[in-house]
Amino acid sequence: MLDTFEILTTSGVVLWSRSFSHVNPAIINNFIADVFIEEKAAAAGVKDTKSAANNPAYKADQHTLRWSFSKELGVIFVAVYRSLLHLSWVDKLVDNLKTIFVDLYGEQLQKPNTTVVRCEKFDDYFDQQLRELESKATTKAAQPGGTAFIDEESISGNLGDEPPLPPGLKHRNKVHDGAQDRPSTAESTPVATPNQSRPSTPGGNHLVVGKTGPMGKVSRRARKMQINSSATASSGDEGPGRKGKKAPKKGRKWDADGFADEDDGVQLDYSVTGKSATSDSEAEATGRSTVVEEIDSATWGSKTSKGQFVLRDLDDEVHGILSSAQSKNSDNAPTGIVNTGLSSINSLFRNIVGGKTLTKEDLAKPMDGMEKHLIEKNVAREAAVRLREGVEKELLGVKTGSFESIDTRIKKAMEASLTKMLTPTSSLDLLREIDAVTRPSTLSGRKPRPFVMSIVGVNGVGKSTNLSKICFFLLQNKYKVLIAAGDTFRSGAVEQLKVHVRNLKELTEREGGQVDIFEKGYGGDAASVAKDAVKEAANEGYDVVLIDTAGRRHNDQRLMSSLEKFAKFAQPDKILMVGEALVGSDSVAQARNFNSSFGPGRNLDGFIISKCDTVGDMVGTLVSIVHATNVPVLFVGVGQHYSDIRNFSVRWAVEKLLST
């Protein structure tokens, strides 16, 4: 059973919702923050309008969220249900409801300067869809003869982290995306053999083949859950009439075309039409082929109403909407070459004057240029491509402003994209955070303790140097700092640190800075040294502990794995990684590996990018690193002196990146 279904705008207003059990609003808030705002890993490229089946499910706190997004209207459709229940039809529900909602209220949604959308009536449409899709799922399970076994498998085959799509959805997607990017997978549906003999359904082989196609091996447990889920589903109190009179009707329908196994009203009707003429298995065949051939949507509608089964008007309307959307989607590929001459003049004109609606072709060339520009600025190809795709999707179908050329529009969008990517979710005020830990307000009830910060990175990027720079800055602000020599590996490392400490002492003595070194020589366990240093600092009243660590190659398994223990022992408040701005360093792989080396639940807190003074405008490394890890750049090193460290300014970086 569904927990909740919400339709909300990108501006945050819930337009319509239906809740079956209470869901913490934080779940959807987190979903928005992770998927849409921070664009975490898998969800990149959300700006596109896709079917729910193609959007990775978002899992949180025992809940699974399936969702779809209408880019033009800025509306998000999201269904929330318990992860335990593997509801395979939810994708379909999200997709169908999106189609219906956009069809019914698209116009209202385009009105500027208001958030009011009158959509009370949507209740009925929702009930209809929920009833239809859910009953299909349960009818399947309850079908006599069709052993519950097979059905369950076929349903739960659609689950898992990377759900193989049910055939019905593939069908739809294929039509949906038409000539676009997604290669059709419908044909390649593998034939699953073991279930082919289904006892009481003669001629049902088609069905089983199609149905169990994408299913993988499913564990006993999953099956069991499925049983539970269907049990819950049928006992839930969803739409009226689902059980009473409606059920037999549906049942009959399903006797006829149950084999089609298309979770789709459209398919259903095809089969119904087919059934009157032919045998069951042929019906199945017609059903399938007709979809592929895109029959005229208007005709099937009327056929249905004349047909054997009297559907409610609402059903008709819903199916009409769904199928016309489908045929529209498959139609709009090439619209003929008639007006191209005129339209190209028009587009030329609009390109100068503005007010042009951007198409993929318009964007292709300038976007190539932009991508190249970014790569020339030393942005990794991977990151440049993602940025490009993001901007492209954002601009597709957008109108340029008056007297705004495509190039300026792209530059503007890219600037926004870069700014969003580089801006940290919460800004860092280091001194303020240190104060909060070392001198907590009496209200908070926390005990004062030293602030622990550690610095990691590969060999020779300037870990110790940058640690000293930060130390210098802290000393100027009169903090008492203990530097822990955590590099117990490379000979000379401790001595080098001692030199730094001596220099720093000399430099800041007059200003009242106080700095000492904590070292245990070589060969010891770095994690234990760090832990001891923190303890010592707490006893001696230091404000800040800065832990230097051994440089390690990011693909050195042994050394990398010791970082996890280190993080556990030292419990640093901040783990910063030093990376180089230099051209050609494999900073992206480094950043990724380091970011994932501290064990579950612990990531890097930020980057210090060193040697920024040597690269001029080519600051692309910054972008590549942030793109790869979603960890913000906090400081940049800009020279050889202790004072040559700066707060990272997003505006500065974006200006450099876009300058020519």
Question: 145: how many CB neighbours lie within 10 A of its CB?
Answer: 9
In whole angstroms, give the CA distance from residue 330 to residue 321.
14
Q: Minimal CA–CA distance to 456: which of 570, 624, 612?
A: 570
Which run of H or E residues covers position 473? helix 463-476
- Binding other proteins (rule: CB under 8 A), the pick from 20, 38, 148, 309 is 38
Minimum distance from residue 247 beta carbon to ligand GTP (Å): 39
Contact between 534 and 544 (Cβ < 8 Å): no
- Burial class of residue 416 (count of CB atoms within 10 Å of its CB; 0-12, 13-18, 19+): middle
How far apart, in Å, are the Cα atoms of 658 and each of 63, 253, 407, 422, 611?
A: 41, 61, 12, 14, 20
Minimum distance from residue 45 beta carbon to other proteins (Å): 16
Residue 432 touching other proteins (CB under 8 A): yes
Question: Of 26 and 345, which CB lies nearer to ligand GTP in the complex structure?
Answer: 26
The site map against other proteins for 378-417 (x = CB under 8 A) is ---------------------x-xxx------------x-
Query: Which residues contribute to the site for ligand GTP (CB under 6 A)?
Result: 12, 25
| DSSP-derived 3-state class of residue 545 | strand
Question: Of 61 and 556, which CB lies nearer to other proteins in the complex structure?
Answer: 61
Question: Of 79 and 272, which CB lies nearer to other proteins in the complex structure?
Answer: 79
Nearest residue by C-beta to ligand GTP? 12
Question: Of 26 and 231, which CB lies nearer to ligand GTP in the complex structure?
Answer: 26
Stretch binding other proteins (CB under 8 A), from 106-114, 273-281, 564-572, 586-594 = 106-114
Minimum distance from residue 294 beta carbon to ligand GTP (Å): 42
Check residue 482 and report its DSSP letter: E
In whole angstroms, give the CA distance from residue 476 to residue 88.
61
- Binding other proteins (rule: CB under 8 A), the pick from 112, 336, 492, 521 is 112
Say which entry of other proteins, ligand GTP, Mg ion, none residue 429 contacts (CB below 5 to 8 A, set by partner kind).
other proteins
In whole angstroms, give the CA distance from residue 606 to residue 598.
14
Phi and psi dihedrals of 622, rounded to 5? -50, -50
The residues, any chain, with a CB within 8 Å of residue 508's CB and separated by 6 or more, are 472, 475, 476, 515
Count interface residues toward other proteins (CB under 8 A). Answer: 63
What is 105-163 written as a DSSP string?
HHHHHT-TT------TTHHHHHHHHHHHHHHHHHHHHH-SSS-HHHHHHHHHTT-SSSP
Distance from the first to the final alpha carbon of the chain: 56
Question: Of 12 and 521, which CB lies nearer to ligand GTP in the complex structure?
Answer: 12
Say which entry of ligand GTP, Mg ion, other proteins, none residue 490 contacts (CB below 5 to 8 A, set by partner kind).
none
Minimum distance from residue 436 beta carbon to other proteins (Å): 7
The site map against Mg ion for 1-30 (x = CB under 5 A) is -----------x------------------
Name the CA dihedral angle for 647, 649, 652, 653, rounded to a multiple of 10 degrees.
100
Question: Of 11 and 640, which CB lies nearer to Mg ion in the complex structure?
Answer: 11
One-letter identity of residue 339: N
Nearest residue by C-beta to Mg ion? 12
Point out which residues bind Mg ion (CB under 5 A). 12
Interface residues with other proteins (CB under 8 A) are 6, 8-15, 17, 25, 28-29, 32-33, 36-38, 74, 112-116, 353-355, 399, 401-403, 416, 419-420, 423-427, 429-432, 435-436, 443-444, 473, 476-477, 612, 635-636, 638, 645-649, 651-653, 655
